[in-house]
Amino acid sequence: MLSTQLPPDAAYAVLQSHDARFDGRLFVGVTSTGIYCRPVCRVRLPRRENCRFFSTAAQAEAERFRPCMKCRPELAPRPLAWTTMDASRTLAQQAAAWLDACDDAEASVEDLAKHLGITSRHLRRIFQAEHGVSPLQYLQTRRLLLAKALLTDSTLPVQEVAYAAGFASLRRFNAAFVEHYRMQPTALRREGGASAPTSRLRLSYREPYDVAGVLAFLAPRAVAGVERVDERGITRTLALTHAGQRHAGWLRASFDKPGEVGVELSPTLWPAVGSLLPLLRRWLDLDADPDSIGAALGEGAVPGQRLPGCLDRFELTVRAVLGQQVTVAAARTLAGRFVERFGDELPDAPEGCRRLFPTPERIAEATRDDIASLGIIGRRADSLIALAQAWPTLAFARRDGSPEAAAEELTTIPGIGPWTAGYMLMRGWSWPDSFPPGDVVLRKALSAKIDPNGPLLSPKAYLEAAEHYRPYRSYAVLHLWRHS
């Protein structure tokens, strides 16, 4: 991964060359204007003596710089959330992930510290060391930048923007916005405003991005009634909880512009956009470092390979169980029947996407015969019911904590073994360095790379051969599957 701790002269060279590899990892504050920008910004190059460099937008805002209206720092890709690091840095990254997913307007540092099992003093110390700002400064910046994006790109009324961004009241939102950006929120509204009932989110990523490869992976797995994949994007239904309320609707992600994904949301999902945004970025792996991944994969790597995640961990786990020991096409057929039987209808949704994936509550009430009648073998029906009944208590259902602990927790569910748990780490947790044990296709592929005419690697040698791809073994899984 490229370092953001660059000497000032090197950082200025990045700014001069508009080096997109550092987008989201480097920000420049210009003292003569009081504005901070991304390195890809195309405004006039500031003088070197007027530049201050930061690793995060939160650091720039803590020093009272305002975001640029042209390059829009809120659109920048983020650093990869999960990497190989020491315990303190891992805790600091887990804390940031908790704050990114936080939908509680009254959340406190004490709440976060309790969740992580450490003292609030220790949390502040490690967070400051890793991110350069306090947890509350980080959270405030995240909320303000989300509000800025919604004011610019959506038609939500200002009061709804405030709540969607995580502010407890319109008064608090207005006060924070004016204090940080020295303007009223309404000043950001485009003249005349947009009239469409659904607006578009803009989500940036670092190029290259293998759009064709991502869509080719998702298309044969798209579940009838829930998802539809075409040559330019994905349309699907979704239900999620934000600030204690359930929101259901549909979305479409389109790869219409290099370096950016446009996301159209149904009106029912806009109020939950604060919780949805980090899910969208993980689903499409928008924060990946393509250069580092390509170097780890080596010869034959497809430029810009991504690791598709998920929007709903329960859905992905169910689909993984249904896919055990059957083909992708057969798993898709079973999932389609499952949705048709247990999923709720979604009115006014696009054609082909008019059902929501079944909820844990619905499946927890189902009987073995209800599920087995769809052609699903009995012991898998038992696994799905056990999974649904345990779901409210599983830490895996949340988006924070330790990935390794989550995988271990999953294997306590009958019928979910190490391979399925490893697959869930890859796609459900977006963990970049998972390698499912015992995968026959991967074992053959690694054996052939070592000796095309030799025997299959032993299970131990198979895992040892995968070490070559650290810390991106999850990407190696897709890479090897693809080339097999």
- pTM for the model stands at 0.89
Taking only the tens place, the pLDDT of each residue in 207-241 is 999 999 999 999 999 999 999 999 999 999 999 99
The residue from 153, 287, 289, 439 that is catalytic is: 439
The answer to whether residue 451 is catalytic is: no
The answer to whether residue 439 is catalytic is: yes
- Are 203 and 260 contacting, i.e. CB atoms less than 8 angstroms apart? yes
* CA distances for 293 relative to 24, 113, 321, angstroms: 17, 33, 29
Taking only the tens place, the pLDDT of each residue in 48-64 is 999 999 999 999 999 99
The position carrying tokens 């993980």 is 282
Return the pLDDT at 86.
Answer: 65
Q: Which of 399, 133, 404, 130 is nearest to 278 (CA)?
A: 399
Return the pLDDT at 473.
Answer: 96
Question: Distance between the two ends of the chain, CA-based, in angstroms?
Answer: 28
Domain spans, the chain = 8-75, 87-188, 200-428, 440-483
pLDDT tens, residue order, the chain (484 aa): 344 468 999 999 999 999 998 999 999 999 999 999 999 999 999 999 999 999 999 999 999 999 999 999 999 998 765 454 567 887 888 888 889 888 888 889 999 998 888 999 999 999 999 999 999 999 999 999 999 999 988 888 999 999 999 999 999 999 999 999 999 999 887 544 444 444 789 999 999 999 999 999 999 999 999 999 999 999 999 999 998 899 999 999 999 999 999 999 999 999 999 999 999 999 999 999 999 999 999 989 999 999 999 999 999 999 999 999 999 999 999 999 999 999 999 999 999 999 999 999 999 999 999 999 999 999 999 999 999 999 988 877 765 556 777 888 889 999 999 999 999 999 998 899 999 988 999 999 999 999 999 899 999 999 999 999 999 999 999 999 998 8
Q: Which of 230, 278, 223 is nearest to 255 (CA)?
A: 230
Return the pLDDT at 206.
Answer: 93
Q: How far apart are CA 453 and CA 397, in angstroms?
A: 44
Helices 135-153 and 170-181 pack at an angle, to 10 degrees, of 100
For domain 8-75, is the CATH number 3.40.10.10? yes
Q: How far apart are CA 472 and CA 434, in angstroms?
A: 8
- Are 273 and 146 contacting, i.e. CB atoms less than 8 angstroms apart? yes
- Are 469 and 475 contacting, i.e. CB atoms less than 8 angstroms apart? yes
* CA distances for 236 relative to 54, 263, 266, 466, 469, angstroms: 37, 11, 11, 34, 33
Q: Which of 416, 311, 410, 413 is nearest to 356 (CA)?
A: 311
Taking only the tens place, the pLDDT of each residue in 374-417 is 999 999 999 999 999 999 888 777 655 567 778 888 899 999 99
Query: 3-state SS of 11-74?
Result: HHHHHHHCCHHHECCEEEEECCCCEEECCCCCCCCCCHHHEEEECCHHHHHHCCCEECCCCCHH
- Percentage of the residues of the chain whose pLDDT score is greater than 90: 78
Return the pLDDT at 188.
Answer: 83
Return the pLDDT at 153.
Answer: 87
Q: Which of 91, 99, 88, 89 is nearest to 58 (CA)?
A: 99
- Are 377 and 386 contacting, i.e. CB atoms less than 8 angstroms apart? no
Q: Residue 66's CB: how many other CB atoms inside 10 A?
A: 18
Superfamily covering domain 200-428: Hypothetical protein; domain 2 (1.10.340.30)
Give per-residue burial for 431-469: e unless 16+ CB within 10 Å, then b. Answer: bbbbbbeebeebbebbbbbeeeeeeebeeeebbebbeeb
Q: Compute, in degrees rounded to 10, the torsion defined by CA atoms 400, 405, 408, 413.
A: -40
Angle at 123 between CA 118 and CA 127, to 5 degrees: 145
Report the CATH architecture of 87-188: Orthogonal Bundle (1.10)
Q: How far apart are CA 456 and CA 413, in angstroms?
A: 31
Return the pLDDT at 398.
Answer: 67
Return the pLDDT at 1.
Answer: 38
Q: How far apart are CA 308 and CA 214, in angstroms?
A: 7
The residue from 37, 41, 71, 102 that is catalytic is: 37
